[in-house]
Structure 1
Amino acid sequence: MRTQIHTTLVCLFGIFVAFASHAQEYRSIDGTGNNVSQPTWGAAGSTLLRYSPAIYANGMDQVYNPVNAREISNLISFQPDPSPSHYQLSNMTWQWGQFIDHDMSLTESNAQNGTTNILVTDPLDPLAPMIGMNRSNYVPGTGENGIPREQPNQITSFLDASMVYGSDAAKASYLRTFSNGRLDTSLDEILMPNDAGFFVAGDVRVNEQLGLISMHTLFVREHNRLAELIDANATGLPTDPAARDEEIYQQARKLVGATIQHITYNEFLPSLLGESMLNMDSAAYNPNVNPTINTEFSSAIYRFGHSMIGPHLELMDDQGNVTEMVSLREAFFKPSMMTDEPERIEQVLKGLVMTSAQEVDLQLVEDIRSFLMLDGNPLRFDLAALNIQRGRDHGLADYNSVRESYGLAPAESFADITSDPQLQADLESLYGGDINLVDTWVGALAEDHLPGSAVGELTATAIAEQFTRLRDGDRFFYLFDEQIPQLEVTVGIDLENYGLRDIILNNTTLSNLPKNVFEVPEPSSNTLTLMTGIGVLASLRRRRSESG
């Protein structure tokens, strides 16, 4: 019965999407029509932009492998000891980074596209003899006739909360109740599972690990909280139940997207990059700015967060007591842990906020660098090697070429990349002394951090460039949207003073969190309930200036 109802609703919703795209009061689900003169910019299915010339072995589609990716990983990505973030960035930093990554880009892979398996040459290596890897989907008509293979972005590029709502009409419809603007949840206000017990959300990667499941649950709850307030307080809502449901849904969706944008630009990015990398004073919609994600960003540079992940998740109660330690490998694709004990969701969120991330560098913990699962089909997993190989699969140019594409000077020696003598020697050994062979993911993470920043120059520049385009190329960005002020009044929030902390407090039983959830509070400070937004920025400025 549910299937029949949803089939009908999908058709009706598709009609609405077409109408809404034309009316442009609200975003389309698939991102089309945001730019009136370039309606496909940033839309689902757009080809990833490419800043530097593609490098394929045959110039079109064959993967170029100058150095074995697992050998690179074994030499420079093994992490022997914990390495807490120098800037006291919390684990929520990488978790938010992953959450919004799943809002911006998705390029799936399939064996039909070919394979680019990574041979493991050392027979004693736990991942021997091979790390399997399917190649990414590619745009039809590329990879042949002299045209290099290009990859599509299968979701919208915009920061539009597509990971909550979906990037196509069928998914968006499936997630709704079509009553009072609400999204569908279980009785415990957690995500709805499919027949196999896996949660369904706007993005297909929702079940990857417990932290991600918790973030998805949090924002579905926030949508429904806002929908209830709109239903109770908004004036001029239609009296027809279907039209009323649609209007409430769209208003709540607009507000959720706005809060995600505000958190990203005012909390996440300043904590990660420092305050000077992204100029919010210059924010203005520009129809000549293409917001589409570029492959250098998605295929290599934005994967910096993998180095920040620790070997386990610490679940905590509201007082900060550890209730459970879950190893990272035990947290992969385990939605049943949340279904069985829904209270784990807020315990995961509390732990992410209160514990330190690892330093942004080339090193990854073994749970994601040498993961071997023998249950059923053997799975061999090295995220460092896979990041390198995925860049090659996408024909990504070398590190120096990518630096030049962003207007940065190329490195002339390995000492220009890093001041660490051992890392210099390791890079020189791996790449045979040829600095122009260095993979972009490797070079970007090997760089010394900029003063006042948790990342190096290329990473900071590329992130700032992409997020500037996502802002100024988005006609519906919250700072440019004239509907937002009235919606703020309707639901009783002020976006400029409404952060991730507030969303967590409003949708869980937690009551004790720092104002800036992206930085671990100092144990001696009284930041849990008293720190103001001004205090957060003052603390951040002091810490940055002391390091610089």
Structure 2
Amino acid sequence: MRPFRSLPFILCCFRKNPLWGSANTGLARWIPAEYEDGENQPKGWNAGRQYSGFPLPLVREVSNKIMRGSSVFVLEDKAYSQMLVDWGQYIDHDISFTPQSSSRTADCLNTCTNANPCFPIQIPEDDKLSRNKSCLPFFRSSPACLTAQPQREQMNSVSSFIDASTVYGHSADLEKTLRNLSGSEGLLAVNVKHTDEGRSFLPFVSVRSACLQGPGSERVECFAAGDSRHTLWVREHNRLARHLTRLNPHWGSEVIYQETRRIIGALHQIITMRDYIPKIIGRAAFDEYIGPYEGYSDSVNPSVSNVFATAAFRFGHVTISPVLARLNQSFQEHERFPSLSLHQTFFSPWRLVQQGGLDPVLRGLLGRPAVLQNQEHLMTEELTERLVVLNIPETVDLAALNLQRGRDHGLPGYNEWRVFCGLDRVETRSDLAEVVGSDVLAEKVMDVYGHPDSMDVWLGGVLERPVSGARTGELFTCLIGKQMKMLREGDRFWWEHPSVFSPKQRQELQRHSLSRVICDNSGVTEVPLDPFRVETYPEDFLSCGNIPSLDLEEWKEQPDDGSYVTVFHLRTQVLLFLD
């Protein structure tokens, strides 16, 4: 049984700064933007403009000379599994998404001229990606409307909170389409045409989609979800909702849905902060920047910052594997559905439906090591030469996109962010060699940029040597740590807040894990205790029967208990009202 919470008490928490963290508001600025005209024009907008006495290099040139790596050569992470990388991408989509500008008068697919909203990526001569074109299309991010700042700001179209909007959607309309409103169990909608060995797939979108198709004649449309790649959590919601319905048949569909959503949101917070972030920034940095939970503060702005969304939390792009592993029950290469090159998987839901379902992919994420950042091969060619983006006819370059997006957003350079974090500026070639740990790499950067002050923050961050016990360098460790602290302390509905769950419910939630979610919602029967650590099969794997599970008995309520009033997910309701 949960503590009583009245509606006025909860609404009071949004009065002071009701837009903080809400969807469709501007990304936070921790230091002022740097635009070439002071207000709007990205770095690189005006030809011939110099930075620290040198022209700013083309982003594709930076990718070619510094980032390019082999599709074959991969340095394996001896500590962590590919699931760690996947979770980072997943949770990033839960807290930030910046929509691109659109215009009826500008054709950004067919212009190589800078003219809003088009900011094309210029291609150096003799670049094999050009295909007789001199640029790649690039749409600027949508400007935020509600801002008193004279400078252009960018919008976050999802809520900044870790609240499982990937599962439930970030708007009232999307949330409604993702629910099964016909029953009394508070379920999410699932696919009515296909199943995965009896388990649910996500529903298809209702209109003909741009997703790629397999060799068969039957179309498989894009999946519809808050984030269309994540089937596992829809299954978990429906599993928990059915259990809560059995425990509390008097609750009704809406109460069941909201109570289940509250649990799922808490699990996202727990897995991210307990299991994921300490591995990324290291335990020492976690203690320094985040520390133990001390409660909610209405003076902490939880809004995702521009530098976090556009640079720091994109560190994981250099750890993406060129291969999607698909493994059998013995965690060996699948006999019928072998592993795929990454570019073969882009926007291809037909492979899940027609080629073995989710289980081989989950085993691949659990049973194969993550890619370890390697300064000689920083990003796979699967991403720099073969990346597919819907509605763009040619392949594009993720490294170039990241760099161009940072310039589009007016992010200050690498050294400005080091100063923000209290770190020493990098002024010379030897300074740079020290922070990246490589004379050769420092030489490449200086040859391309001319001076460290000109270096784009995303590039500088991913080039730094990782902090001891971490997967990020000292700059991104600082930026990620600061952001995660704000996301937790500025969240009135953080799962550890005393008014959100009872002590016994919190104790049960702590028992749950991503490994248990996999056990309960797939055909995978053996898992590592910590799914983010790479283990050897079979000796380091446990039977699912030995993985602790969540006991929902603590959510059982007596119908005549007058002290209990169900309050729906108020944060969701308030934030959707503000959209």
Deviation at 1:527, TM superposition (A): 3.9
The code of the aligned residue for 2:63 comes to: S
* Matches of 1:281 and 1:159, distance apart in 2: 18
**Aligned CA distance change for structure 1 residues 530 and 168 (closer, same or farther; 3 Å):** closer
The code of the aligned residue for 1:391 comes to: G
Match of 1:223 among 221, 224, 237: 237
Contact kept? 2:119, 2:139, Cα under 8 Å: yes
Contact kept? 2:346, 2:388, Cα under 8 Å: no
The TM-score, its normalising length taken from structure 2, stands at 0.79
* Matches of 1:73 and 1:228, distance apart in 2: 49
**Aligned CA distance change for structure 1 residues 222 and 377 (closer, same or farther; 3 Å):** closer
Matched, 1:358 2:371: yes
Deviation at 1:487, TM superposition (A): 8.4
Residues 33-86 of structure 1: CA deviation (Å, up to 9, x unaligned): 863421111000121111122111111111212111011001111113533344
Match of 1:98 among 72, 81, 89: 89
Residue aligning to 1:29:
none
**Aligned CA distance change for structure 1 residues 223 and 530 (closer, same or farther; 3 Å):** closer
* Matches of 2:29 and 2:57, distance apart in 1: 23
Unaligned runs of 5+ in 2: 45-55, 104-115, 209-220, 549-579
* Matches of 2:284 and 2:67, distance apart in 1: 30
**Aligned CA distance change for structure 1 residues 85 and 36 (closer, same or farther; 3 Å):** farther
Contact kept? 1:475, 1:481, Cα under 8 Å: no
The code of the aligned residue for 2:68 comes to: F
Contact kept? 1:361, 1:445, Cα under 8 Å: no
Deviation at 1:360, TM superposition (A): 3.1
**Aligned CA distance change for structure 1 residues 169 and 367 (closer, same or farther; 3 Å):** same
* Matches of 2:21 and 2:320, distance apart in 1: 29
The TM-score, its normalising length taken from structure 1, stands at 0.83
Match of 1:401 among 406, 410, 416: 416
Residue aligning to 2:404:
389
Give the secondary structure class of the aligned counterpart of 2:358: helix
* Matches of 1:255 and 1:58, distance apart in 2: 47
Range moving further from structure 2, 277-286 or 461-470: 277-286
Deviation at 1:523, TM superposition (A): 5.6
Residue aligning to 1:520:
534
* Matches of 1:247 and 1:24, distance apart in 2: 19
Residue aligning to 1:44:
23
Of structures 1 and 2, the one scoring higher in RCO (CA 8 A, sep 6+) is 2
* Matches of 1:275 and 1:422, distance apart in 2: 30
Residue aligning to 2:109:
none
* Matches of 1:503 and 1:381, distance apart in 2: 35
Give the secondary structure class of the aligned counterpart of 1:329: helix
* Matches of 2:371 and 2:419, distance apart in 1: 29
Residues 160-205 of structure 1: CA deviation (Å, up to 9, x unaligned): 00111111111111111122110000242110001321111113xx
Aligned residues: 486
* Matches of 1:47 and 1:101, distance apart in 2: 16
Matched, 1:267 2:272: no
**Aligned CA distance change for structure 1 residues 306 and 33 (closer, same or farther; 3 Å):** farther
Give the secondary structure class of the aligned counterpart of 2:87: helix
* Matches of 1:374 and 1:43, distance apart in 2: 27
Residue aligning to 1:4:
none
Contact kept? 1:109, 1:134, Cα under 8 Å: yes
Contact kept? 2:235, 2:521, Cα under 8 Å: yes
Match of 1:151 among 149, 154, 174: 154
Match of 2:226 among 198, 202, 219: 202
Give the secondary structure class of the aligned counterpart of 1:315: coil
Residue aligning to 1:500:
514
Q: Any residues of structure 2 matched to 1:301-312 within 5 Å, and which?
A: 301-312=312-323
The code of the aligned residue for 1:246 comes to: E
Deviation at 1:142, TM superposition (A): 6.8
Matched, 1:348 2:361: yes
Contact kept? 1:305, 1:360, Cα under 8 Å: no
Give the secondary structure class of the aligned counterpart of 1:89: strand
* Matches of 1:231 and 1:49, distance apart in 2: 40
* Matches of 2:390 and 2:77, distance apart in 1: 38
Q: Over the residues paired in the alignment, what is the CA RMSD in angstroms?
A: 2.7
Residues 265-288 of structure 1: CA deviation (Å, up to 9, x unaligned): 111112222222223424421111
Residue aligning to 2:561:
none
Q: Larger helix proportion, structure 1 or 2?
A: 1
Deviation at 1:418, TM superposition (A): 1.3
Deviation at 1:253, TM superposition (A): 0.1
Match of 1:135 among 126, 136, 140: 140
Q: Any residues of structure 2 matched to 1:176-255 within 5 Å, and which?
A: 176-178=179-181, 179=183, 180-187=185-192, 188=195, 189-194=200-205, 195-196=207-208, 197-203=221-227, 206=228, 213=229, 216-234=230-248, 237-238=250-251, 244-255=252-263
Residue aligning to 1:285:
296
Match of 2:452 among 417, 428, 435: 435
Deviation at 1:416, TM superposition (A): 3.9
Deviation at 1:513, TM superposition (A): 0.9
Contact kept? 2:36, 2:42, Cα under 8 Å: yes
* Matches of 2:348 and 2:8, distance apart in 1: 42
Residue aligning to 1:482:
499
Residue aligning to 1:3:
none
Contact kept? 1:501, 1:513, Cα under 8 Å: yes
